[in-house]
Amino acid sequence: MRKERVRLVNNFKEEDGPIIYWMSRDQRIHDNWALMFAQEKAIKRRQPLIILFCLQQKFLNATQRIYNFMLDGLKKVERSLNKLNIPFIILKGAPEKIILDFIESFKISNIIIDFSPLRIKREWIKRIHDQIQIPIFEVDTHNIIPCWEVSNKKEYAAYTIRSKIQKKLNQYLDQFPDVKKHPYGWNESYEKIDWEKLKKYLEVSNNDVHDLRYNPGETEGSSILKQFLNEKLKLYNQNRNDPNLDGTSNLSPYLHFGHISAQRVILEARKIMNISNLKGGFYDEIIVRRELSDNFCYYEPNYDNVNGIHDWAIETLNFHRKDKREYIYSLEEFEKAKTHDKLWNAAQMQMVKTGKMHGYLRMYWCKKILEWTETPEIAMKMAIFLNNKYELDGRDPNGYVGIAWSIGGVHDRAWNERKVFGKIRYMSYNGMKRKFNITQYIEKYSI
Ligand code: FAD
Ligand code: FO1
């Protein structure tokens, strides 16, 4: 595998002993560079390979049904790993505590982690880094081109990062080797995972009155990919912005939880549709926009608040801070879809009922929160709260950037000035009406 996908986080000498891959963002076995790297190292050193997952009692507002999706996906990971002679262990609690104990109790020689730009993960790694004396290797197995390889700075917009991606894309679209049945067993006894007990360990709100429409796991992710490639890819551009059609891939929950690799998606898609140019269409979204989101969250510490938006945007929002808001809604009114706008309410209910709001409506949904709250700060907080609580693909760099784009014009340009929004791009009910049959959508999702 390409060495640029891996970076050494500290500089301790490698001793002998079992090797762990601390799985977190990329919860899959196949097409997982972090797992590959860990297994290669373990085989070379004739050592057992162990995969750890540190379960948190709560995580960025995720609810019971979102955790159920993730845990059911991990259950499938456990089943497949058992067949590969690779132990899978779930530890509960703060990673810096439980991982340290594990490393010491079992004389672990190396730890491999998967990359995420989010603050929560970087804090975990920082706390681990300060305490352990074994090599920590970080592998970006979420992006096709590793985040640190695409760019060494915060990119201004899609067009600035697109040219950098274009240059390197081909060399990073390499084939994945298969995971091997591991030749070196681990002779320690460890507790079998009690999945029902784990669900009781969580401290999450379970007021989800609706079940999700998506089944978790690698196999499900691959079948959704196959269906998309065979039936929808060619019509993506014309159908993607009509919320009444199921014209998009529905891959986001599987990409978010790492059940499927974006690189696998592209390796398969380009057999059907070559990647002539990246601008516009499916490749732009899944390659450029996704990498741009990781880039923003990685290089912008304030990716989830108003201090992270451009100066022109904060100036214009400040200039219109005192503008009269025609409507003001509380978080509860938003959450219960109790605004005057039936289209907005239907979008909120699609997210609550199915766990996935259509992408075209997410822009409108978020911009209206800016329009109907007292300040941009409150708007951003509410949008992040709702997005992270209900979206199956939430708690993701794509979400933070989608919200920063909608409210703060991140990666967008200035538009003609108007009240409340200033020069932030505006979206209107009538504008949506011209784009698709909103009556049909409202009927489908209203309470
Ligand atoms: P498709 O159109 O089939 O796209 C394929 C993949 O490309 C997606 O799964 C996603 O990984 C990526 N992608 C598509 N659009 C974008 C985009 N605008 N930015 C970054 N990546 C993109 N996406 C999330 O994954 N999680 C979120 O929490 C999230 N919240 C959003 C909030 C707002 C306010 C906005 C405007 C956008 C948000 N998005 C989020 C981006 C986008 O709406 C979703 O990725 C998309 O709707 C997922 O459905 P799909 O997989 O069917 O999309
Ligand atoms: N990752 C973990 O390592 N432990 C968790 O308990 C955990 C919970 C979780 C809940 C919802 C969700 O959307 C993701 C969750 N993740 C969890 C995965 C998360 O994406 C990764 O931890 C990333 O590395 C964070 O940036």
Phi-psi region of 52 (alpha: psi -120 to 50; beta: other; left: phi over 0): beta
Percent of the chain with pLDDT over 70: 99
- C-alpha distances in angstroms, 412 versus 283, 286, 310, 380? 19, 18, 10, 17
DSSP secondary structure of 146-196: -HHHH-SS--SSHHHHHHHHHHHHHHH-PPPPPPPPPSS---S--PPP-HH
- C-alpha distances in angstroms, 430 versus 242, 343, 375, 433? 15, 11, 24, 5
Confidence of residue 446 (pLDDT cuts 50, 70, 90): confident
In single-letter form, the type of residue at position 255 comes to L
pLDDT value of residue 190: 86
The Cα–Cα gap between 392 and 259 comes to 13
Give the number of the atom of ligand 2 that is nearest the alpha carbon of residue 56.
6
pLDDT value of residue 30: 98
pTM for the whole thing?
0.98
The Cα–Cα gap between 55 and 307 comes to 31
Mean pLDDT of the region 189-193:
89
Q: How far is the CA of 93 from the centre of ligand 2 (A)?
A: 12
pLDDT value of residue 277: 82
Q: How far is the CA of 182 from the centre of ligand 1 (A)?
A: 36
List the residue whose alpha carbon is closest to atom 5 of ligand 1. Answer: 286
CB of 23 within 8 A of CB of 51?
yes
pLDDT above 90 for 210: no
Mean pLDDT of the region 239-258:
97
pLDDT above 90 for 276: no
pLDDT value of residue 27: 98
Mean pLDDT of the region 357-384:
98
CA 95 to chain centre: 20
Q: CATH number of the domain at 3-142, out of 2.60.60.20, 3.10.20.30, 3.40.50.620, 3.40.50.410?
A: 3.40.50.620
The Cα–Cα gap between 380 and 384 comes to 6
- The CATH fold assigned to 148-176+217-299 is 1.25.40
Mean pLDDT of the region 229-251:
97
Interhelix angle 218-231/262-269, rounded to 10 degrees, is 30
Mean pLDDT of the region 220-245:
97
Q: Is 252 touching ligand 2 by the criterion CB < 6 Å?
A: no
Token pair in block for residue 40: 């290669």
Q: How far is the CA of 83 from the centre of ligand 1 (A)?
A: 34
Q: Is 54 touching ligand 2 by the criterion CB < 6 Å?
A: yes
CATH 3.40.50.620 residue ranges of the chain are: 3-142
Q: How far is the CA of 141 from the centre of ligand 2 (A)?
A: 15
pLDDT tens digits, 160-171 = 999 999 999 999
CATH 1.10.579.10 residue ranges of the chain are: 305-445
Looking at the DSSP bridge assignments, the partners of residue 139 are 6, 114
In single-letter form, the type of residue at position 237 comes to N
pLDDT tens digits, 412-430 = 999 999 999 999 999 999 9
Give the number of the atom of ligand 1 that is nearest the alpha carbon of residue 256.
25
Mean pLDDT of the region 316-344:
98
- Going by C-alpha positions, the residue among 12, 224, 33 that lies closest to residue 145 is 33
CATH 1.25.40.80 residue ranges of the chain are: 148-176+217-299
Q: Is 45 touching ligand 2 by the criterion CB < 6 Å?
A: no
CB of 317 within 8 A of CB of 425?
no
Confidence of residue 319 (pLDDT cuts 50, 70, 90): very high
Q: How far is the CA of 378 from the centre of ligand 1 (A)?
A: 23
pLDDT tens digits, 77-102 = 999 999 999 999 999 999 988 999 99
pLDDT above 90 for 209: no
In CATH, 305-445 is 1.10.579.10? yes
Percent of the chain with pLDDT over 90: 94
pLDDT above 90 for 299: yes
Give the number of the atom of ligand 2 that is nearest the alpha carbon of residue 95.
3
pLDDT above 80 for 144: yes
The Cα–Cα gap between 333 and 340 comes to 10
Confidence of residue 14 (pLDDT cuts 50, 70, 90): confident
The answer for residues whose C-beta is within 8 angstroms of residue 398's C-beta and 6 or more apart is 252, 256, 289, 290, 293
